[in-house]
Structure 1
Amino acid sequence: MTIPQLMPWIGGSVKFEAGLSPLVCPIDESVASHMIESDANVVDAAVKHAHAAFLKHQDATTAKRIEWLLAAADAIDKIEGELVRSLIRFIGKPRRAATFEAKRVGTFMRACAAQVPHLMGEVLPLDVTAAGAGRFGFTTRVPYGVVAAVTPFNGPANLLIQKVAPALAVGNAIVVKPSPPGTEVALLMAQAMKAAGIPDGLFNVVPGGRETARLLAAHPLVAVVTVTGSTAAGNELARAAGAKKFVGELGSNAANIVCADADLDDAATRIAGAAFEASGQQCISAQRVIVERPVFERFLELFVAAAKKLKVGDPEDAATDVGPMVRSAAADRVEEMVKDAVAKGGKLVLKPERRGA
């Protein structure tokens, strides 16, 4: 199933059918769908629905929340094929990687469900003073309320569920602003969760870009803001969030160190795979390789050979290792980085051959 128009999912249904902009498929640069840019009214409605749902369901038992998560995991397993198709179509993720990511969603939800019973408070003796003799105090964990989550394009199912499942597991409601290419994945998951019995309003989706994310982080009814993305995006949203609790997973420089006594064949193969997985667009992609001088030339030879073995092509093909970047502008940026490196004395050891994104 393709969702032709990607609208906000608020309170268990689609809202605000207006203001659409196109989303482009990175494979052939055709228009894959249209998405609304959620404005202040949309964000406000989503957060208020989430807050109302939180108040209604905050006292749900641990057993009930586990039941919801397990049912949602089963429902999402059933739409694995749709998630894979969307990851290929909107992200350009190769089929094998897309399938791995889609399968991970249900697995992660079940892992969260298994952890819920272990989230306990403490019993504390109060006899540190004479007045506390024979007395005990206790602590218990309570949900924050509404969680605002901003997720990136490079793992739109995996990184979304890493925010949604823990939030729901402990009794929060959540509003997600996915990266535009990951919007359909988020909506497919929201629909599956509703079908599984997750109460309306506990999981909401507001499509949009940078301004939508800022509006969401700044909303006064949001208690927690969690962001996975660039350091610049995280800093901007932390400022918008103000005094709210902020959780950021931001950027990376992913260094790899190869010592002279390493298994160079193994290191070269692993690092080449890590460098070009997801077309180099994720924080765990190998970005720097630091090699001891005595083995540098040999390692470089092996690394280039390993990189050449990776199949670049159509992400629909199960044999493809490297698909397109998420959009042409991203590929343009990489080309400029390569040109800059060469201009500064770098040596081009793999001739680039660009086809589209």
Structure 2
Amino acid sequence: MNTVFVGHTSNISGAEKMLLAVVGEAVRSGAAVTVVCPEGRLAQALPAEAQHVAIPELGLGGEQGPARILAAARMAARWVSAARTIRSLSRRPGTATVVNSLFALPAAQLARPPRGVSWLVHDAVASGRQRAVVSISRRVVRRAVACTEAAAAPVRDLGLPAEVVPYGVPWPVEDYFAATRTPPVVGMLALLTPWKGHLVLLDAIARLDGVDVELAGGNFSGDQDYVDELRARAERPDLAGRVRFLGHVDPDEVLRRWDVVVSSSVLPEAGPLSVLEAMSHGLPVVASDHGGPTEFLAHGEGILVPAGDSGALADALRTLLGDDSTRAEMGRRARATVAARHDSAVTLPALYSELIA
């Protein structure tokens, strides 16, 4: 069996971390693995057994206004270039092609692999732009595999078959729960891009005296204006000295020192891996009440708040940071949920099997 994986970016966020995990499972299964993705951090993180073939970046990268129009035109040209590469690899006998990103689907459509492609759905398809990309690519998608029902439902609404296989994280792992620190530390593991909702979190922390916040994650070059906006917000008197920008970090390093983890996305996320990572280590999560977190936190593993509501987010954080027993109980429930549904030793083989079925 030959398996070709296609990624759209050189950056590593939750979707790319899951891609690396599935690539590892494919290697362990004995498949000949090729990963088609841009040069950069993702390619450097591939296992030695996987062949890397470079393509251009296929995402818009956060540009706004007229710059976004030019970026879209460049992206179309890159889809054509990437399609040539995908075509030559996917037409080898006995090859399964797996697309890891919505924005790589048009390149796969142009490549037209003989067996079609499996799409590993990391997006809760919510915007008109996302739906348009899926619509122009739907003929090449043989099956879609999503991590939550929240991600599968909009794909089915567009007429594509979608199965659900939950994401997983390593298990068992250490319980990081501890009594609330002084000062308390709230953390967020997410790419610095507007839809992740960092400004909502900063506005919430501004309502809480004596609470620090750490933002862990890099950013696309096109999102630099947003990063500058975040830094300017962090320097205002109500937050000065309480916000730390960490860049790319080892999640375990920061989770050990956080009291609560936040996922404050303003648009739905399919299944943020950072939420599962926090849950596995016994940390309570406060998340926006849409997308995958509504399933991850359905049984008291954390608190759901309306998306974009900094007041509700502040209230939830105030409740948790003032009550260690509630945090501990949520942490216990979170670890039990991970053990029962999100152990990667179980989910990864199931996910890879579904993708190549």
TM-score by length of 1: 0.32
For the pair shown, the structure with the greater C-alpha radius of gyration is 1
TM-score by length of 2: 0.32
Higher relative contact order (CA 8 A, sep 6+): 1
